[in-house]
Every structure is written in C-alpha cells, then in structure tokens.
Amino acid sequence: MLAAQPFTDEHCTEVLELFADPDFHYRGEAHPEFLAEAEVLALLDKDTFVLLRQDSMIGLYAAEPVGGEHAGHWELHLRLRSDADQLLWLTAYKQAIEALRYRTGIVRITVRVGEYDTTGRRAALEAGMQPEGTLTEVVRHDGEHVGICHFSLIWPPEEAS
C-alpha cells in the first residue's frame, strides 16, 4: 500500500532529488535532470500528490481535467523512481485512479508517455491502459525527435463514477 499526500513546501528537497534521476519523466519531461529548481516547482500544482512507501518518497502524481472539469475526461501524470518495480507501478496506478474516481465523475483517463520511456509505456499497458497511437517526432530526446504515445482507460456510462 502506498500513501499519497498533497505536495507541500516540506516535500521540496525530496521532490528535487526525484528529478535528479534522468528517468523521472514526470509530466513528459524528456530530460528531468537538466531542469532548474524553478522549472521543477513549476510542474507542481495544488493537485500534485507525493507518493510514499514506508515514509520514503517514491513518486508523484497529478490529474487535470481535459476539455473542462465536468467533461469526465482527465489526464493522469504519474511517475515513480527508476528503481520501482512493476508491482509498485501497478499499485500506484490503481490507487491514483481509484482516488480520482472517488473525487470526481470520470469516464476517461488519458496518459501520455514518451517513446523513449520504456518503463512508463510498459507500466501504462500493464495497468490496463489501451494504446491510442503515437504523435511522432514531437519531442527531442538524446538529440533525436521522438514521439509521444497516448494511452487511455474508458468506462462505459453505467460504470462511470
């Protein structure tokens, strides 16, 4: 079980340490290790949660409405440390989705992951996300243009929260 807490200034040092990891692609950042402190903090907002496992910060997540808060479509941003195993990823996805569904009416969740991010793509698929396609060559990573892969979960109207 993971604990989720709203991000506060008390978490800043640990959050900055997460972004020192070149594989911490939170909110689609292709090179998180090159972000300045102000750029990292700009990625965090009132809807950002820190994920804790046994009092150790292991990741972040946030969700934002797509097409208006009452449209039932949300984009989920979730990232764990690079040493997190697949079970931890599945637990984090499950808990973040359950929390979002508890808090708001939701029909669809979208996740965007860079083509270069094999961990993020695998985690989205194993969490039950359906691949929707890739916008090719829209991001630069390691000197090359790469795409952004789109995944989603859609609930039928009778199961929407």
Q: Concatenate the DSSP letters of all residues of 34-98 into one string.
A: G--HHHHHHT--TT-EEEEETTEEEEEEEEEESSSTTSSEEEEEEEE-TT--HHHHHHHHHHHHH
What is the CATH class of 3-154?
A: alpha beta
CA distances from 158 to 15, 17, 161 (A): 38, 42, 8
- Give this prediction's pTM: 0.90
Least confident of 2-6, 83-87, 98-102, 104-108: 104-108
Q: Is residue 133 classed as helix, strand or coil in its secondary structure?
A: strand
Whole-angstrom Cα distance, residue 116 to residue 106?
A: 29
Q: Quick: pLDDT tens for 99-121.
A: 998 888 788 999 999 999 999 99
pLDDT of residue 159 exceeding 80, the answer is no
Whether the CB-CB separation of 94 and 71 falls below 8 Å is answered with: no
**Averaged over 22-38, what is the pLDDT?**
88
145: tokens are: 């243009």
Q: Can you say whether the dihedral through the CA atoms of 90, 25, 110, 8 is positive or negative? A: positive
Whole-angstrom Cα distance, residue 152 to residue 157?
A: 16
